[in-house]
Amino acid sequence: LMFVVKQRPNWSRVFISLGDVAAARGDEVEALRNYLRAIDDHKDRSPGALIAAAQLLYRQRRFEDADRMVGLLMNTVPVRVSL
């Protein structure tokens, strides 16, 4: 994946993948760093990345930051209301 980062440094998906790999290894700090890089630096709004970041932030008791991720998610995912 680091080869891809060098080849496509502005591609947010690679940072999400790095976050997924770090999370699978149990490295929550590195996972969050990569998710936030995709979200904040590259403006990625993938629901999976936003949810993963929110969960990690919540576990770190960073509630305001977690709430920001939820807000971004709510602005990204269409909600249907039936009356």
Looking at the predicted structure, is the pLDDT value of residue 77 above 80?
Answer: no
Burial annotation 20-58 (CB, 10 A radius, 16+ → b, else e): bebbeeeebeebbebbbbbbeebebebeebbebbbbbbe
Q: Give 12's pLDDT tier (boundaries 50, 70, 90).
A: confident
What is the per-residue pLDDT for 31? 98
**Cβ(35)–Cβ(56) below 8 Å:** yes
pLDDT for 71 equals 94
- What mean pLDDT is reported for the chain? 90
Tell me how far apart the alpha carbons of residues 74 and 56 are, in angstroms, rounded to a whole number: 18
> What pLDDT is attached to residue 81?
60
